[in-house]
Amino acid sequence: MKLQEHLCSFFCAMLFATYNFRAMHDLASLVGFLSRFATPSRVQQFNNVLAYRTRYITIVLEDIYQSQNASAVLRTCECYGIQDIHVLQKSNTYTLNPDVTKGSDKWLNISKYRVSDKTLSNCMLELKKSGYRLVATSPSEDATDINNFDIEQQKTAFMFGNEHRGLSNELLQLADVKVKIPIYGFTESYNISVSVAIILNHCVNILHRSNVSWKITQEEQLKLMLDWLKKSVKRPELLINRFYTEVSNKTP
């Protein structure tokens, strides 16, 4: 990339970071501008997907060991319309397998935290402050069958643990509720990506039939649309810079 393009990219990023959208109209205008440089079918696909995006449910992954498992979880979450994933890294570093994710991670908001036993609770308390109920997935006897779990009661963060050890004692103690998936065979537990799929299939289907406000807001849709367009059009920084220039020239 030429120096001029580097500078343009840098200053465009600075403008975008500091730009104060006076109203949703400004954000919608930028989205509309960038949409002109994407195919109509792509824009329509974004709109179709956004109609089912949700932050009512979020997924927390603790210290996942195998990259293919973490990758399969992301792919499953994206398919079910879950937008936000929280990854807690303790002993294991979070990595992805692109052959498994199939690009699903680029459409998600993935928050990664390097945590210790002492700082783990801080991350979870932030979710609680945001209105989430912390739900631990556990095969323990005192856990509620997922079929009896009331997903309509409150926004929910489902927590899934390490493939070998399960959730840490710290997360189990922080949980508001524990849920389990029925097992009718000899095996103690499902693979983590299968567990996520079973729980999401159950809960998402209930939400779609409910009166709960599970969809993201119009403003959130616009912000995601903007992010996705930036990942889909050529030279988005140059286009955004052009948009700001045109807006500045029109401002009295």
User: In the beta sheet, which residues pair with residue 109?
Assistant: 84
Residue 97 has pLDDT above 90, yes or no: no
Residue 6 has pLDDT above 50, yes or no: no
Beta strands in 133-231 (DSSP E): 133-137, 144-145, 156-160, 177-180
pLDDT in tens, 170-195: 999 999 999 999 999 998 889 999 99
Looking at every residue in the chain, the average pLDDT score rounds to 87
> Residue 46: its pLDDT value, please?
98
Mean pLDDT across 146-175: 94
pTM metric for this prediction? 0.86
> What is the CATH number assigned to the segment(s) 57-209?
3.40.1280.10
> Residue 117: its pLDDT value, please?
66
pLDDT in tens, 41-94: 999 999 999 999 999 999 999 988 888 888 999 999 999 999 999 999 887 676
Q: How many CB atoms lie within 10 A of CB 119?
A: 12
Alpha-helical segments (H) within 117-158: 120-129
Residue range(s) in the chain whose domain bears CATH number 3.40.1280.10: 57-209
Half-sphere exposure of residue 52, counting CA atoms within 13 Å on the CB side? 13
